[in-house]
């Protein structure tokens, strides 16, 4: 994987990013199992120095280089400052990472990254590590996980849109935004709009109007309008719904990621015309997966209403 090499030395993978609790480690383990069943040689790389209890096998662990508890104890830093230092230390020791990755040549890699949001919005260390990986002929796509419960709160959803856009612009990798934990969305509360409104990020003026019905947010209408304008002007943010327990949902996310990284159009696997076409045109609009989740959500809401009526 020397710099400047081409052809067979290309390696593909995903950098899995997102805020704490969004399900990054769970996603990595589920995607590893899913890819293994498809016949890919896959390995998980843990880049989170705070992730001490890994739930499954990990081919490479940043804990061999640096750990957050050690940094906090030796330098007197808090969790946030310590994590930033760990990423800067990884950047400064990029040769260590390159040497360890050589042993994983030929594998599809899943990089489980830390959950600190500023690492993906304005801090440079992890972005520079990703740039180094690109120089070593890794073709990566960023998979940005966001907990689907934010859809139930319009104010938080606007914040999520801003964070996702900022991350896309800063990280500078092909990007797939994912709404995780869709199997739990009916437990989070009632959605103001259909699910496809959130996954496809449709006309956000409706969201601003909905926020204006709340006395607290009414005072911030102009601010929300300007934030929405920025999001819509870039027209970059959309989401793929994900339930890690559903094979079809995992397949649709993988199609989007493989298209983003270019894996779908390579020659590393035997591919049918149907698979190539689904990667080419099926990953931009996720109506079937969104519809399935929406139907389940509506059914759960109808059942809740029926139970309320029966109680009366």
**Residue 2 pLDDT class (50, 70, 90 cuts):** very low
117-121, 122-126, 143-147, 197-201: lowest mean pLDDT where? 197-201
| Residue 268 confidence (pLDDT) | 56
Q: Assess if residue 309 is contained within a domain.
A: no
What residues does 142 pair with on adjacent strands? 15, 175
Q: Assess if residue 256 is contained within a domain.
A: yes
| Residue 171 confidence (pLDDT) | 95
The token pair that represents 208 in the structure block: 């601003």
Domain with residue 87: its CATH number is 3.40.50.300
* Number of domains forming the structure of the chain: 1
Give the Cα separation of 192 and 198 in Å (integer): 10
Q: Assess if residue 3 is contained within a domain.
A: no
**Is the pLDDT reported for residue 294 higher than 80?**
no
Q: Assess if residue 215 is contained within a domain.
A: no
Q: Assess if residue 159 is contained within a domain.
A: yes
| Residue 216 confidence (pLDDT) | 81
| Residue 297 confidence (pLDDT) | 54
Give the Cα separation of 311 and 159 in Å (integer): 37
Q: Assess if residue 2 is contained within a domain.
A: no
Q: Assess if residue 6 is contained within a domain.
A: no
**Is the pLDDT reported for residue 197 higher than 50?**
yes
Range of the domain at 153: 11-201+237-264+285-299
Count CA atoms within 13 Å of residue 273 on its CB side.
0
| Residue 5 confidence (pLDDT) | 41
- Smallest Cα–Cα separation from 88: which of 140, 135, 123? 123
Tens-place pLDDT, residues 222-256:
999 999 999 999 999 999 999 999 999 999 999 99
Tens-place pLDDT, residues 146-172:
999 888 888 899 999 999 999 999 999
| Residue 169 confidence (pLDDT) | 95
The per-residue pLDDT of the chain, averaged, comes to 85
Count CA atoms within 13 Å of residue 300 on its CB side.
15
The token pair that represents 30 in the structure block: 């589920």
**Is the pLDDT reported for residue 6 higher than 50?**
no
Q: Assess if residue 134 is contained within a domain.
A: yes
Count CA atoms within 13 Å of residue 222 on its CB side.
1
């Amino acid at each position: 994987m020397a710099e400047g090499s081409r052809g067979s030395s290309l390696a593909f993978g995903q950098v899995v990013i997102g805020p704490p609790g969004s399900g990054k480690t769970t996603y990595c383990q589920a995607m590893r199992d899913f890819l293994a069943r498809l016949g890919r040689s896959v390995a998980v790389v843990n880049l989170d120095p705070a992730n001490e209890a890994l739930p499954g096998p990990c081919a490479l662990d940043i804990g061999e280089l640096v750990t957050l508890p050690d940094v906090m104890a030796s330098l007197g830093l808090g969790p946030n400052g310590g994590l930033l230092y760990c990423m800067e230390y990884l950047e400064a020791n990029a040769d260590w990472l390159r040497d360890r990755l050589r042993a994983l040549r030929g594998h599809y890699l899943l990089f489980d990254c830390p959950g600190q949001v500023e690492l993906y919005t304005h801090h440079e260390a992890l972005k520079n590590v990703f740039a180094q990986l690109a120089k070593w002929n890794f073709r990566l796509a960023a998979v940005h996980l966001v907990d689907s419960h934010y859809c139930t709160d319009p104010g938080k959803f606007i914040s999520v849109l801003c964070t996702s856009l900022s991350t896309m612009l800063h990280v500078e990798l092909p990007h797939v935004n994912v709404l995780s934990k869709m199997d739990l969305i009916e437990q989070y509360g009632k959605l103001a709009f259909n699910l496809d409104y959130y996954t496809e990020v449709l006309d956000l003026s409706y969201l601003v109007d909905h926020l204006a019905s709340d006395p607290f947010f009414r005072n911030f209408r102009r601010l929300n309008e300007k934030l929405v304008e920025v999001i819509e002007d870039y027209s970059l943010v959309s989401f793929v719904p994900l339930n890690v327990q559903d094979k079809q949902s995992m397949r649709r996310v993988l199609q989007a990621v493989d298209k983003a990284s270019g894996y779908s159009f390579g020659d590393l696997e035997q591919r049918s015309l149907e698979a190539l076409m689904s990667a080419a045109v099926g990953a931009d609009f996720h109506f079937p997966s969104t519809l399935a989740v929406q139907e389940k959500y509506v059914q759960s809401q109808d059942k809740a209403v029926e139970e309320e009526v029966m109680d009366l």
